[in-house]
Amino acid sequence: MRIKIEFETECEDLPIDYRRKFISYLKGALADYNQDLFAALYGEGPSSKSFCFSIYFAPEVTIAKDGITLHSKRFHVWLTTRDVLIGVHLANAFMARRNKWFPMADSNNKLKVLSITKVQEYSITSNAVHFKILSPIVIRDHDEEKGRDWYLTFEDDDFEVIWKRNLKTEFQKAFGRDVCDDINALRIKPIRLKKTVVKSYGIYIPCTIGSLVVEGEKYLLEYLYKAGAGSKRAMGFGCLDIV
Protein backbone atom coordinates (compact mmCIF):
# COMPACT_ATOMS: atom_id res chain seq x y z
CA MET A 1 0.00 0.00 0.00
CA ARG A 2 1.28 3.45 -0.90
CA ILE A 3 -0.10 6.79 0.22
CA LYS A 4 0.87 10.41 -0.39
CA ILE A 5 0.30 13.04 2.29
CA GLU A 6 0.52 16.73 1.47
CA PHE A 7 1.60 19.04 4.29
CA GLU A 8 1.64 22.78 4.82
CA THR A 9 4.11 24.45 7.16
CA GLU A 10 3.34 27.59 9.12
CA CYS A 11 6.87 28.96 8.61
CA GLU A 12 9.35 28.57 5.77
CA ASP A 13 12.23 27.30 7.89
CA LEU A 14 12.87 23.60 8.52
CA PRO A 15 15.81 22.02 10.38
CA ILE A 16 18.34 20.01 8.38
CA ASP A 17 17.37 16.97 10.49
CA TYR A 18 13.78 17.27 9.26
CA ARG A 19 13.19 13.50 9.19
CA ARG A 20 13.57 13.42 12.96
CA LYS A 21 10.94 16.15 13.32
CA PHE A 22 8.54 14.32 11.04
CA ILE A 23 8.95 11.09 13.02
CA SER A 24 8.03 13.01 16.17
CA TYR A 25 4.93 14.29 14.38
CA LEU A 26 4.10 10.76 13.19
CA LYS A 27 4.43 9.39 16.71
CA GLY A 28 2.10 12.08 18.02
CA ALA A 29 -0.48 11.32 15.33
CA LEU A 30 -0.37 7.59 16.10
CA ALA A 31 -0.58 8.14 19.87
CA ASP A 32 -3.66 10.35 19.44
CA TYR A 33 -5.25 7.86 17.03
CA ASN A 34 -4.59 4.49 18.71
CA GLN A 35 -2.57 3.99 21.90
CA ASP A 36 -2.28 0.23 21.38
CA LEU A 37 -0.89 0.67 17.88
CA PHE A 38 1.53 3.33 19.11
CA ALA A 39 2.73 1.03 21.91
CA ALA A 40 3.19 -1.85 19.47
CA LEU A 41 5.33 0.28 17.14
CA TYR A 42 7.14 2.56 19.58
CA GLY A 43 6.84 0.88 22.96
CA GLU A 44 9.69 -0.43 25.08
CA GLY A 45 12.71 -1.71 23.20
CA PRO A 46 13.48 -1.57 19.47
CA SER A 47 10.91 -3.09 17.15
CA SER A 48 10.80 -3.64 13.41
CA LYS A 49 8.48 -1.25 11.56
CA SER A 50 6.71 -2.49 8.45
CA PHE A 51 6.73 0.85 6.61
CA CYS A 52 9.09 3.38 5.10
CA PHE A 53 8.70 6.89 3.80
CA SER A 54 10.26 9.62 1.70
CA ILE A 55 9.85 13.38 2.10
CA TYR A 56 9.67 15.37 -1.12
CA PHE A 57 10.09 19.14 -1.23
CA ALA A 58 8.54 21.31 -3.93
CA PRO A 59 11.05 22.96 -6.30
CA GLU A 60 10.82 26.27 -4.42
CA VAL A 61 13.29 25.20 -1.74
CA THR A 62 16.75 26.30 -0.58
CA ILE A 63 18.87 23.66 1.17
CA ALA A 64 21.86 24.82 3.20
CA LYS A 65 24.17 23.12 5.70
CA ASP A 66 22.30 24.52 8.70
CA GLY A 67 18.70 24.35 7.51
CA ILE A 68 16.08 24.33 4.78
CA THR A 69 13.98 27.22 3.50
CA LEU A 70 10.71 25.92 2.11
CA HIS A 71 9.49 28.91 0.10
CA SER A 72 6.23 27.22 -0.93
CA LYS A 73 5.50 26.09 2.64
CA ARG A 74 4.52 22.73 1.15
CA PHE A 75 5.99 19.25 1.11
CA HIS A 76 4.80 15.71 0.37
CA VAL A 77 5.42 12.48 2.21
CA TRP A 78 5.35 9.22 0.24
CA LEU A 79 4.69 6.28 2.57
CA THR A 80 4.72 2.61 1.62
CA THR A 81 4.10 -0.64 3.49
CA ARG A 82 3.60 -4.35 2.79
CA ASP A 83 1.04 -4.46 5.60
CA VAL A 84 -2.26 -3.09 4.27
CA LEU A 85 -3.73 -2.86 7.79
CA ILE A 86 -0.80 -0.74 8.99
CA GLY A 87 -1.23 1.41 5.89
CA VAL A 88 -4.91 1.98 6.67
CA HIS A 89 -4.11 2.86 10.28
CA LEU A 90 -1.42 5.34 9.22
CA ALA A 91 -3.76 6.94 6.69
CA ASN A 92 -6.47 7.25 9.35
CA ALA A 93 -4.04 8.76 11.85
CA PHE A 94 -3.05 11.45 9.36
CA MET A 95 -6.66 11.98 8.31
CA ALA A 96 -7.57 12.76 11.91
CA ARG A 97 -5.16 15.70 11.73
CA ARG A 98 -6.39 17.04 8.40
CA ASN A 99 -6.70 20.84 8.31
CA LYS A 100 -5.42 21.16 11.89
CA TRP A 101 -2.18 22.80 12.99
CA PHE A 102 0.13 20.77 15.24
CA PRO A 103 3.52 21.93 16.53
CA MET A 104 6.76 20.58 15.10
CA ALA A 105 8.90 19.32 17.98
CA ASP A 106 11.57 21.68 19.33
CA SER A 107 10.88 24.39 16.78
CA ASN A 108 8.69 27.42 16.20
CA ASN A 109 7.06 25.77 13.23
CA LYS A 110 3.78 23.89 12.83
CA LEU A 111 2.46 21.30 10.39
CA LYS A 112 -0.97 20.81 8.86
CA VAL A 113 -2.18 17.87 6.75
CA LEU A 114 -3.83 19.16 3.58
CA SER A 115 -4.64 15.93 1.74
CA ILE A 116 -4.14 12.17 1.80
CA THR A 117 -4.16 10.15 -1.42
CA LYS A 118 -3.81 6.43 -2.07
CA VAL A 119 -1.21 5.89 -4.80
CA GLN A 120 -1.61 3.13 -7.35
CA GLU A 121 1.07 0.45 -7.05
CA TYR A 122 2.76 -1.14 -10.04
CA SER A 123 2.57 -4.89 -10.63
CA ILE A 124 5.95 -6.57 -10.91
CA THR A 125 5.77 -8.89 -13.90
CA SER A 126 9.42 -9.50 -14.72
CA ASN A 127 12.57 -10.58 -12.91
CA ALA A 128 14.28 -7.22 -13.38
CA VAL A 129 13.08 -3.90 -12.00
CA HIS A 130 14.52 -0.41 -12.45
CA PHE A 131 14.14 1.28 -9.07
CA LYS A 132 14.39 5.00 -8.39
CA ILE A 133 15.61 5.71 -4.86
CA LEU A 134 13.15 8.17 -3.32
CA SER A 135 14.96 8.42 0.02
CA PRO A 136 18.62 7.45 0.51
CA ILE A 137 19.52 3.79 1.02
CA VAL A 138 21.38 3.12 4.27
CA ILE A 139 23.48 -0.06 4.44
CA ARG A 140 24.60 -0.70 8.01
CA ASP A 141 27.32 -3.10 9.08
CA HIS A 142 26.67 -3.71 12.77
CA ASP A 143 29.30 -5.23 15.07
CA GLU A 144 27.37 -6.66 18.03
CA GLU A 145 30.51 -7.50 19.99
CA LYS A 146 31.87 -3.96 19.83
CA GLY A 147 28.48 -2.27 19.65
CA ARG A 148 29.57 -0.18 16.68
CA ASP A 149 28.06 0.62 13.31
CA TRP A 150 29.68 1.27 9.95
CA TYR A 151 27.72 2.65 7.02
CA LEU A 152 28.50 1.72 3.44
CA THR A 153 27.64 3.32 0.11
CA PHE A 154 27.78 1.89 -3.41
CA GLU A 155 31.39 3.14 -3.59
CA ASP A 156 32.48 0.59 -0.96
CA ASP A 157 33.65 -2.87 -2.01
CA ASP A 158 31.47 -4.63 0.57
CA PHE A 159 28.29 -2.66 -0.21
CA GLU A 160 26.48 -5.52 -1.96
CA VAL A 161 27.90 -8.18 0.38
CA ILE A 162 26.65 -6.46 3.54
CA TRP A 163 23.32 -5.56 1.94
CA LYS A 164 22.69 -9.20 1.03
CA ARG A 165 23.82 -10.39 4.46
CA ASN A 166 21.30 -8.06 6.10
CA LEU A 167 18.59 -9.13 3.63
CA LYS A 168 19.04 -12.78 4.62
CA THR A 169 18.26 -11.97 8.25
CA GLU A 170 15.35 -9.72 7.32
CA PHE A 171 13.79 -12.10 4.79
CA GLN A 172 14.13 -15.07 7.14
CA LYS A 173 11.86 -13.22 9.57
CA ALA A 174 9.51 -11.96 6.85
CA PHE A 175 8.98 -15.28 5.04
CA GLY A 176 9.72 -17.78 7.79
CA ARG A 177 11.96 -19.87 5.56
CA ASP A 178 15.46 -19.94 4.16
CA VAL A 179 15.69 -17.74 1.07
CA CYS A 180 19.48 -17.41 1.06
CA ASP A 181 19.89 -18.95 -2.40
CA ASP A 182 17.45 -16.46 -3.90
CA ILE A 183 19.22 -13.56 -2.19
CA ASN A 184 22.63 -14.77 -3.35
CA ALA A 185 21.22 -14.81 -6.90
CA LEU A 186 20.09 -11.17 -6.72
CA ARG A 187 21.94 -8.95 -9.16
CA ILE A 188 22.27 -5.26 -8.37
CA LYS A 189 23.22 -3.03 -11.29
CA PRO A 190 23.96 0.66 -10.62
CA ILE A 191 22.46 3.08 -13.12
CA ARG A 192 22.98 6.56 -11.72
CA LEU A 193 24.14 6.20 -8.14
CA LYS A 194 25.66 8.89 -5.96
CA LYS A 195 27.02 9.03 -2.45
CA THR A 196 25.42 11.51 -0.06
CA VAL A 197 25.67 12.21 3.65
CA VAL A 198 22.50 12.74 5.68
CA LYS A 199 22.13 14.05 9.22
CA SER A 200 19.83 11.88 11.32
CA TYR A 201 19.45 12.21 15.09
CA GLY A 202 22.70 14.15 15.26
CA ILE A 203 24.70 11.56 13.32
CA TYR A 204 25.99 12.05 9.77
CA ILE A 205 25.26 8.89 7.80
CA PRO A 206 26.83 8.06 4.41
CA CYS A 207 24.19 6.62 2.09
CA THR A 208 23.27 6.11 -1.57
CA ILE A 209 20.84 7.92 -3.87
CA GLY A 210 20.01 7.64 -7.57
CA SER A 211 18.63 4.60 -9.39
CA LEU A 212 19.53 0.96 -9.90
CA VAL A 213 18.27 -2.22 -11.52
CA VAL A 214 17.70 -5.27 -9.33
CA GLU A 215 17.34 -8.70 -10.93
CA GLY A 216 15.93 -11.65 -9.00
CA GLU A 217 12.84 -13.57 -7.94
CA LYS A 218 9.68 -11.50 -8.31
CA TYR A 219 8.59 -11.96 -4.69
CA LEU A 220 11.88 -10.43 -3.51
CA LEU A 221 11.56 -7.49 -5.90
CA GLU A 222 7.99 -6.92 -4.69
CA TYR A 223 9.22 -6.94 -1.09
CA LEU A 224 11.83 -4.28 -1.82
CA TYR A 225 9.27 -2.18 -3.69
CA LYS A 226 6.73 -2.25 -0.87
CA ALA A 227 8.95 -2.47 2.24
CA GLY A 228 11.94 -0.45 1.07
CA ALA A 229 15.65 -1.25 1.01
CA GLY A 230 18.38 -1.11 3.61
CA SER A 231 18.32 -0.01 7.24
CA LYS A 232 16.46 2.78 9.08
CA ARG A 233 13.50 2.64 6.69
CA ALA A 234 10.95 3.82 9.26
CA MET A 235 13.23 6.82 9.83
CA GLY A 236 12.85 8.10 6.28
CA PHE A 237 15.36 6.00 4.34
CA GLY A 238 15.26 3.35 1.63
CA CYS A 239 11.95 4.18 -0.03
CA LEU A 240 11.84 2.99 -3.66
CA ASP A 241 9.65 3.57 -6.69
CA ILE A 242 9.59 1.87 -10.09
CA VAL A 243 10.87 3.85 -13.06
**What single string gives the DSSP state of each residue in 154-206?**
TTSTTHHHHHHHHHHHHHHHHHSS--HHHHHT-EEEEEEEEEEEEEETTEEEE
What average pLDDT does the structure give for the chain? 94
Handedness of CA 36, 42, 44, 45 (dihedral sign): positive
| Final residue belonging to a domain, choices 119, 149, 167 | 119
| Residue 107: predicted pLDDT | 86
Please indicate, yes or no, whether residues 84 and 159 belong to a single structural domain of this protein. Answer: no
Predicted structure pTM score: 0.94
Q: What is the pLDDT of residues 75-97, one digit of tens each?
A: 999 999 999 999 999 999 999 99
Q: 115 near 5, Cβ under 8 Å?
A: yes
Dihedral sign, Cα of residue 15, residue 17, residue 19, residue 25: negative
Report which residue type is found at 60.
E
Would you state the pLDDT for residue 144?
Answer: 78
Choosing from 95, 119, 143, the residue where a domain stops is: 119
Cβ atoms of residues 203 and 58 within 8 Å: no
**pLDDT mean over 67-73:** 94
Which domain covers residue 53, as residue numbers?
2-119
